[in-house]
Amino acid sequence: MATVALVLHNDRPAAAQLAREITGWLAHRGHAVRIPTVDAECAGLGEHGVDTSELGVGADVAVSLGGDGTMLRAIELVARAGVPVIGVNLGQLGYLTEVEPAGILDALSQFFTGSYLIEERMMLHVSIASASGSISVTEATALNEAVLEKTVSGHTVRLDVEINGSYFTPYATDGLIVATPTGSTAYAFSARGPIIAPTHRSLLLTPVSPHMLFDRSLILDAETSLRITVDGYRPAALTVDGRQLGELHEGDAVICTAADFVARLVIFGPRDFHRILKSKFGLSDR
């Protein structure tokens, strides 16, 4: 029998209802269900609650019930353990999710019979060197991006960039985004960065409203190490896949590299990236 981890959006009643339905279906077939304690309590499934550190240990698959934000959270919780994730779209855009709510039980049946594919996505590792002590977290991982942004309206922040240990240039900007190919269609997309096929391996550096002549994105090799240091008295807020980690001050830095593990997304047939782009962004056929 399998062990299935469920991660759900805590503010969507539909996610809680679907979690109860899935849990009953799995339990009836002898499968074990794990749910983060907070999620389990929201869904009325407290007996299945576990600490997030235990969620992916020995699990066969995780199911994300929500939108892309819930999918990012599920991946952050289980990717290091190599657990594949099925995304159920209870959000709006649903760019990362594969399955609609009505199809999740069929999808689980297919998974248990081996009728699925795994799509691997590069993840980002973020090391934080905070000499100021303003951020206690020392590392984080992301499927989409790490962002350093200004904190004071009407002012830019100065960020110095090193590439593979060599100084590149200072940026006077509203922010800098370091994204994976998956993240190229997230915040970097809204900052007019390029779209990169999600199974590619690379780092994307995109400035947000730069106040300088050089305003282009850089697509860098996946083995690149990017160091971004705050220069000057204006702080920069650090956000990793939507998680606000705090502020960096002068001399504080982040180092971004490819993670040594990948996100494993469950798909049920070859994924047509160009078709998904057309659908999600409303591109029309001739």
Tell me what pLDDT residue 93 has. 65
pLDDT given at position 254: 98
pLDDT tens digits for range 122-139: 999 999 999 888 898 999
Per DSSP, the three-state class of 66 is strand
Q: Binning pLDDT at 50, 70 and 90, where does residue 284 land? A: confident
Specify the pairing of strand 166-173 against strand 175-179. unpaired
Grade residue 272 by pLDDT with cuts at 50, 70 and 90.
confident
Query: CA-to-CA distance for 246 and 242, rounded, in angstroms?
Result: 12
In the numeric block, which tokens belong to residue 230?
């705050």
Looking at the predicted structure, is the pLDDT value of residue 199 above 90? Answer: yes
**Over the stretch 61-93, which tens digit does the pLDDT of each residue have?**
999 999 999 999 999 999 999 999 999 999 776
Lateral strand order in the sheet of 202-208? 218-221, 202-208, 175-179, 145-150, 236-240, 243-248
What pLDDT, on the 0 to 100 scale, is given for residue 286?
66
| All domains of the chain in start order, with CATH | 3-115 (3.40.50.10330), 123-260 (2.60.200.30)
pLDDT of residue 63: 98
Q: Which DSSP helix (H) or strand (E) runs through 204? A: strand 202-208
Nearest CA-CA partner of 175 in 254, 96, 121:
254
Return mean pLDDT, the chain: 94
Predicted confidence at residue 185, as pLDDT, reads 92
pLDDT (tens digit, 9 = 90+) per residue, 124-177? 999 999 988 889 899 999 999 999 999 988 899 999 999 999 999 999 999 999
Active site residues: 68
In sequence order, the β-bridge partners of residue 177 are 147, 206
Residues 6+ apart with CB under 8 A from 276: 95
b/e per residue 225-263 (b: at least 16 CB within 10 A): bbbbbbbeebbbbbbbbbeebbbbbeebbbbbbbbeebb
The reported pLDDT for the residue numbered 41 is: 97
219-251 pLDDT per residue, tens: 999 999 999 999 999 999 999 999 999 999 999
Q: What percent of the chain has pLDDT over 70?
A: 99
Share of the chain above pLDDT 90, in %: 86
Question: CB–CB of 220/147 below 8 Å?
Answer: no
d(CA 165, CA 149): 22
Closest-CA residue to 176 (of 197, 162, 195, 196): 162
Dump the DSSP string for 209-235.
S-SSS----EEEETT--EEEEE-SSS-
- Distance (Å, rounded) from C-alpha 26 to C-alpha 273? 31
Indicate if the pLDDT at residue 266 is higher than 70.
yes
Extract the tokens encoding 247: 């502020």
Residue 285 has pLDDT above 80, yes or no: no
Query: For the chain, how far is it from start to end, CA to CA, in angstroms?
Result: 49
Q: Give me the pLDDT at residue 152, please.
A: 87
pLDDT of 85-110, one tens digit each? 999 999 776 678 889 999 999 999 99
